[in-house]
Amino acid sequence: MTRRIERLLAEYGESHQNPTNKAVHWVCVPLIVWSVLALVASIPGPGAGQGVRWITLLLILAMFYYIWISPTLAVGIAVFAGLCLWVISLVQGAGLPLWQVAAAVFVLAWIGQFWGHKVEGRKPSFLKDLQFLLIGPAWLLSFLYKRAGIPV
């Protein structure tokens, strides 16, 4: 019986066969993840530090999902999320408007994604199933894991 993560990665990979589209995904998927986290961190709340709480809630929910589909991939996703949080703090520390930087990155990265899928000749997977928005980062990470000999 095929594990859920293997089925999801295979199904995601079906619409990501073109080398150009794959290369675009290596750039754009991490940028989209970072921009979403940065946008969530920018959401003001009723008190100081509420943005941190929103991003914490989002990351906890996402980590539950990743642990459910693949505990080993969840470790890599957690490391990447930590890197994203560090970059968010760098942007904030530089005095740049986080939400504006994140919004620009989000729009440009999605333009790249849709261009990659135009080259591929197939619609993005998430148009079929929203779950695939979370599978994109795991799909990329699975290549790194395979190269390192780590099971997904």
Domain ranges within the chain, ordered by starting residue: 26-145
Contact status, residue 45 vs residue 54, Cβ threshold 8 Å: yes
Task: Give the model's confidence band at 123: pLDDT under 50 very low, under 70 low, under 90 confident, else very high.
Answer: confident
Percent of the chain at pLDDT exceeding 90: 78
d(CA 70, CA 64): 10
The encoded tokens of residue 11 equal: 């199904």
Q: What is the pTM of this model?
A: 0.91
Q: With 0-12 CB in 10 A as exposed, 13-18 as middle and 19+ as buried, what is 146? A: exposed
Q: For residues 85 and 117, give the distance between their C-alpha atoms in angstroms, rounded to a whole number.
A: 28
Mean pLDDT of 87-104: 97
